[in-house]
Amino acid sequence: MREVAVIGTGMTKWGELWEKSLRTIFVETALLALKDAGVDKIDSMYVGSMSSGLFVGQEHIASLLADYLGQTPVPSARVETACASGGLAFKLGFMEVASGMSDVVLVSGIEKMTDVNGHEATFALGTAADQEYEGYHGITFPGLYALIAMAHMEKYGTTREQLAMVAVKNHKNGAKNPLAQFPFEITVDMVLNSVMVADPLRILDCSPITDGAAAVMLCPVEMARKMGKPVVKVVGMGHATDTIALSSRKDITWLEATYQAGKRAYEMAGKKPEDIDVIEVHDCFTIAEICVMEALGIVEKGKGGKAVEEGLTALEGKIPVNASGGLKSKGHPVGATGVAQIIEITKQLRGESGERQVENAKVGMTQNMGGSGGSAVVHIFEKE
């Protein structure tokens, strides 16, 4: 297996992009990634997108986007594993370069979510839950994560304030990210007094609905060295599944797929949780970040809330989590999120993160998750 490097990133401002279509957003970010990598031709491409069909009525987007990027007839594939689609697209791009099948591969993620109203968006997202055992009974994602939060609070004494602190921390970081959808700070009081969505989760515990895309370029490490590019190596990868219905799990506070994916990524990279300098995790709801930190072994089981309260995961803390602002502040165009996490870590390792730069970041990690944790993709990166 060949060593693989990330040699280019592309991302534009996320938000309600009503002036732009799906293809426009994709082409803008892909061109930025090509330019950053210094290449104008690719051998292959992958697109992560959860539900372009329900959000904009367009399937078959792998070919559509290859066409509008001017890259036909290269092979192009769209992949889907709910909100982890971007992470999965990266895994496949990585495998293609590692296997020697292709040299230069574009990996992107995209979702255009605000062309439909809130009910339609909620329905589209809800298709990532188990339709027969969850969806038909009326529950949507805020409800599922609210159950997880309730159970975590009951079992481990995690407090309502600790949940709020996750959002406050991520907004503090996001305020330093000019591409974020909501680049401003919030307070614990604001979270606690915001509109109730599903007890105990309030609107400021939830990641938003967002239009956005992200793209990265991959090539063999040797080629990157020859091109004189800063080399950010992909050193670990793990991908795992779990039941998508929450009710089928032994312990709903435990994210087994994330644990399994993390374990494999650590093993492949020869790293331990304490070796990670900076990490981007899937904080679709505040409780999710707490559970993910526990499943990845960053903190002990049940201690996630306390860790946030004590500042362990703050930008200046021992292990900065979601320096980008996370899904909460940066936005969450579901298919794009996994790729945007990889962009943040690449930039952190290159030392290009400006005001939110984590000092001496050498090893970084991303964790991207689908549904209420039924799929998870974890990657570990290291600066050469």
Partner 1 sequence: MQGIVGYGAYIPRNRIKVEEIAKVWGADAPSYKRGLMLEEKSVPSPDQDTITMSVEASKNALKRAKIDPAEIGAVYVGSESHPYAVKPSGTVLAEALGATPEAHTADLEFACKAGTEGMYVALSLVKAEEVKYGLAVGADTSQGAPGDALEYSAAAGAAAFIFGKENIVAKSIKTYAFMTDTPDFWRREYQYYPQHGGRFTGDPAYFRHITGAANGIMDKAGMKPADFDYVIFHQPNGKFPLRAGKMLGFQREQIEPGWLVNLLGNTYSGSSPLGLTSTLDISKPGDIILLVSYGSGAGSDAFIFEVTDRIDEVRELAPKTRDLLVKNRNYLEYGEYAKFRHKIRKAE
CA distance 367 to 90: 12
- In single-letter form, the type of residue at position 209 comes to I
Q: Which is nearer to partner 1, 114 or 357 (CB)?
A: 114
Out of 171, 282, 332, 379, which one is annotated catalytic?
Answer: 332
For residue 72, the minimal CB distance to partner 1 (Å) is: 33
For residue 56, the minimal CB distance to partner 1 (Å) is: 15
For residue 196, the minimal CB distance to partner 1 (Å) is: 6
> 3-class SS at 79?
strand
**Known catalytic membership, residue 332:** yes
Beta bridge partners of 239: 377
Catalog residues that contact partner 1 under the rule CB under 8 A.
16, 18, 114, 117-118, 195-196
CA distance 158 to 294: 13
Beta bridge partners of 321: 279
Q: Which is nearer to partner 1, 117 or 360 (CB)?
A: 117
For residue 331, the minimal CB distance to partner 1 (Å) is: 14
For residue 146, the minimal CB distance to partner 1 (Å) is: 15
Out of 83, 206, 219, 284, which one is annotated catalytic?
Answer: 83
| Two tokens, residue 334 | 């579901």
**Known catalytic membership, residue 379:** no
CA distance 345 to 368: 13
Burial of 230 (0-12, 13-18, 19+ CB in 10 A): middle
* HSE (side-chain half, CA atoms, 13 Å) at 160: 13
Determine contact, residues 351/370, Cβ cutoff 8 Å: no
Q: Which is nearer to partner 1, 20 or 172 (CB)?
A: 20
User: Strand (E) positions, 242-360?
Assistant: 278-280
Q: Which is nearer to partner 1, 92 or 121 (CB)?
A: 121
Q: Which is nearer to partner 1, 1 or 195 (CB)?
A: 195
Calculate the alpha carbon distances from 160 to 145, 155, 202, 205, 253 in Å: 14, 14, 10, 10, 16
| C-alpha 42 chain-centroid distance | 24
Q: Which residues are catalytic?
A: 83, 332
